[in-house]
A and B are shown apart, each in its own frame.
Chain A
Amino acid sequence: MDFAVEVERLNKFYGKFHALKDVSFNVNSGEIYGLIGPNGAGKTTTLRIIATLLSPSSGVVKVFGMNVVNDADKVRRIISYLPEEAGAYKYLTGYEYLNFMASLYVKDKAEVKKLIEEAELICGLNGRLKDKIGTYSKGMLRRLLVARSLMIRPKLAILDEPTAGLDVIHSQYVRRIIKDYAKRNNVTMIISSHNMLEVEYLCDRVALIHEGRIILEGSPSELKNKFSASNLEEVFSKVVKLA
């Protein structure tokens, strides 16, 4: 009950394919937890199960004590999920998109406005929010979507590769936003990433998934010490080669 997220012996089958094998981990409240691993390791599958999109084949997943299967509706009220490669409605303006999303969480007009103001701060798109989303670049879209997922002050934010496909400047911007926001609002986050720099910068603890199993877990510094590596990238390649 003290954990923000509890994952216990989670298994997932896609037909006959065993995508997650007895995955277990816990995330403390207020923690930024990183999932790393090679392509196809099972990161997105894990995040989608926590986000109530997929159901576990076996095992238990709880978010703030609520089961993601039985209490899916309650879980959805306190989480926000940023899918990898997510899009937005291209005929809406950025502002309308935020307004739409905010109105699903709060009823009062003034409250909706407050959430949108928060999002404006997060995304930093300023005047471009008045333009149709169809005219945005990939980086602008990602910033809008990050703002969308954080403005509602979720208790748990699930971000699947938040900076994938962004240039250095946009990546840094988004990373800084996420870190600032988490600190300011004491939000728990689970983040997956292929960028070890990003993971080191953001995450309090990291789990390395390989072929559907967690093979390593710890804080970035612990892991570096354990493998006497200078950065997480080295740890990653050493462990994945061993496995």
Chain B
Amino acid sequence: MHSVLIVILKKEVKEMLRDPKILIGMIIAPVLIMGVMSGVMNFVMSSAKEAVLNPNVIIVDYDNSLLSNVVTSSLTSSSGGKVMVIGDMSVSKAIELALKEDFFIVMVIPKGFGYNVSIGRRAIVELYTVMKSLSISEGGASSMPSSIIEFLNSEIVRERIREVAPNIDPEVFLKPISRVEYSVVKGKVINVPPQTVFSVVMSQSVFIPIIIMIIFITAMQFASTSIALEKEYKTLETLLTLPVSRFTILLAKLMSSVMLAVLGSVSFMFAYMYYYTSVTSFGLPTINLSLSDIGLTMTPIGLLLTGLTLFLSMVSSLVLALLIAVFAEDVRSAQTLVGYLYFLMIIPMMVSMFTDVSSLPMLLQIPLYLIPYTYTLASPRAALLENYGFLVIGIVYMVVFSIAVLYIASKFFKSEKVLTAKISFRRSRR
């Protein structure tokens, strides 16, 4: 029995590795998608950052007073972008110029600006922001005008304070209260504001489940296809008359699908690591920190339990896919049927994105906890919070679930229903 399993497994793996669709779908596509994604992200982020830090500004100075000169020179020296100062040009001409020459902001200092400030009246500065593409990078730069004004305001106030009280640090008047923020995670105080903790956890708990889902979906398609193909290529009948137990055949198919899923996960992991490091490299504040930096580390036990949870949810979904494929007449119906299983993934994913399952009413919790993916999605958080009881329950449940489904599948696989029960989408369409 043991050696027969290996013989069949060898055949399954050979078929799998030689099928270009599988190689592309499982190994190459993830790397490619991640590569493209990270490339696009890189580009967007770097151009956004450039626009934010170095906006090109045209200053139309109608005032030409002492104060307006201070303003233009302090902007010129503090900005990394191009700053063009013009004295005699209409606003519309300046905007035309900005459009043509790729300036982002046109700042107009009206006549009387310096005088108003000197007599204690509020002065006005007009800012025109050129929105050409309405893209993310422009969005990031759209806060630029208000920060220019803030900068000018505080410069002027500082100047005034120095005149009145030359011996006191002007910052004490400007910002009498400053904040130092801490977060308390797992009862420990860490030196990081709560928004940062949240955004680090979120960026990982949104991204990783999506990856998991893509891997699972591909592996499930493979598992169901491997049975459906036996029907479509008319090899199943022969296979079922060989001196091999049907359970062994199913087990071999399950094992090869698990192998594929693991292979896919590894290639995804490498792609993710590449993506992760290339995004961090220009210092996005939210991803710059890792979980361990903010004090969220997994103990070896937590890591082991999370890994086991992941593996077992992979097995449970593949077993489900096999069960479904036993009934499907051909590849297309198998894939359509497996498609319905995605709801089982998407529902807990949606829920866990917005809330914690345990905070839902009991009536909603029960069906959710019957879906293996609920444990998959909750496991990293549970491991971080050292909620090992939950992980163990999930693991036990998924073992029971997988064995039960495999048992049912092999029951059907043993009966003649595997040859006569047909769920076809061609027939029902007429």
* Chain A contact residues, CB within 8 Å of chain B: 14, 48, 51-55, 73, 76-77, 79-83, 85-92, 96, 100-101, 103-105, 107, 145, 148
Q: Is the CB of B7 within 8 A of A100?
A: yes
Q: How far is the CB of B236 from chain A (nearest CB, A)?
A: 9
Name 19 A/B residue pairs within 8 A (Cβ), A-sorted: A51-B241, A53-B240, A53-B416, A54-B416, A55-B415, A55-B416, A73-B245, A76-B241, A76-B242, A76-B243, A81-B241, A82-B238, A83-B234, A87-B235, A91-B18, A92-B11, A100-B7, A104-B242, A107-B3
Closest to B231 in A: A87
CA distance A48 to B416 in the complex (A): 10
A92 touches B234 (CB 8 A): no
Q: B397-430: contact bitstring with A at CB < 8 Å (1 yes, 0 no)?
A: 0000000000000000001100110000000000
The reply to whether B7 and A83 contact each other, CB–CB distance below 8 Å, is no
B7 touches A103 (CB 8 A): yes
Shortest beta-carbon contacts, A-B, top 8: A87-B233, A91-B18, A87-B234, A83-B237, A81-B241, A77-B243, A103-B7, A54-B416
Q: Smallest distance from the beta carbon of B25 to chain A beta carbons, Å?
A: 15
Chain B positions within 8 Å of A145 at CB level: 238
Q: Which B residues from 1 to 39 make CB contacts under 8 A with A?
A: 3-4, 7-8, 10-11, 14-15, 18-19
Q: B242, A101: Cβ atoms under 8 Å?
A: yes
How far does the Cβ of A95 sit from chain B's closest Cβ, in whole Å?
12
Q: Which residues of A contact B4 (CB under 8 A)?
A: 104
Assembled-state Cα–Cα distance A53/B416 (Å)? 6
Also in contact, A92 and B15, with CB within 8 A (given A86-B234, A87-B234, A107-B3): yes
A-B contact sample (18 more), CB < 8 A, given A76-B243, A90-B233: A52-B240, A53-B237, A54-B416, A73-B245, A83-B238, A86-B235, A88-B233, A89-B15, A92-B15, A96-B14, A104-B4, A104-B7, A104-B8, A104-B244, A105-B243, A107-B3, A145-B238, A148-B238
Set of chain B residues within 8 Å of A82, measured between Cβ atoms: 238
**Given the complex of chains A and B, what is the CA–CA distance between A53 and B419 in angstroms?**
8
| Chain B residue, CB-CB nearest to A50 | B241
Q: Which residues of A contact B19 (CB under 8 A)?
A: 91
Min CB distance B250 to A, Å, is: 16
Residues of A within 8 A of B234 (CB): 83, 85-87
A202 to B235, CA, bound (A): 26
User: Bound complex: CA of A96 vs CA of B15, how far in Å?
Assistant: 11
Closest residue on chain A to residue B6 by CB atoms:
A103
**Min distance, Cβ A5 to any Cβ of chain B, angstroms:** 15
Q: Which residues of A contact B235 (CB under 8 A)?
A: 86-89
Q: In the complex the two chains form, is B18's CB within 8 Å of A54's CB?
A: no
- B227–chain A nearest beta-carbon distance, Å: 13
Contact of B11 among A87, A89, A107 (CB under 8 A): A89
Q: A100 contacts which of B11, B241, B415, B419 (Cβ < 8 Å)?
A: B11
Interface residues of B in 245-303 (CB under 8 A from A): 245
Nearest neighbor of A100 in chain B, beta-carbon distance:
B11
With CB as the reference atom, state the residue of chain A lying closest to B20: A91
- The residues of A that contact B416 with a CB separation of less than 8 Å are 53-55
- The reply to whether B244 and A86 form a contact with Cβ atoms under 8 Å apart is no
User: Are B7 and A14 in contact, CB atoms less than 8 angstroms apart?
Assistant: no
- Asked whether A54 lies within 8 Å of B420 as measured between CB atoms, the reply is yes
Question: Which residues on A sit within 8 Å (CB–CB) of B242?
Answer: 76, 101, 104
**Chain B residues near A83 (CB, 8 Å)?**
234, 237-238
Check B241–A80 contact: CB distance below 8 A. Answer: yes
**Chain B 90-111 interface mask (CB, 8 Å, partner A; 1/0):** 0000000000000000000000
Cα A55 to Cα B415 in complex, Å, equals 8
A7 to B309, CA, bound (A): 52
Please measure, in the bound complex, the distance between the C-alpha atom of A87 and the C-alpha atom of B235, giving whole angstroms.
5
CB distance from A155 to the nearest CB of B (A): 13
Report which of B8, B14, B244, B419 forms a contact with A54, defined as CB distance below 8 A.
B419
Q: How far is the CA of A194 from the CA of B245 in the complex (A)?
A: 33
Which residues of B sit under 8 angstroms from A96, Cβ to Cβ?
11, 14
Bound CA span A77–B3, Å: 16
Question: Which residues of B are found within 8 Å of A87, using beta-carbon distances?
Answer: 233-235
Give Cα distance in the complex from A148 to B238, angstroms.
10
Question: Which residues of the partner chain A approach B3 to less than 8 Å between Cβ atoms?
Answer: 107
Which residues of A sit under 8 angstroms from B18, Cβ to Cβ?
A: 91
Distance, CA A167 to CA B4, complexed state (A): 36
Alpha-carbon gap, A60 to B277, bound state (A): 69
Complex interface: chain A residues within 8 A of B7 (CB): 100, 103-104
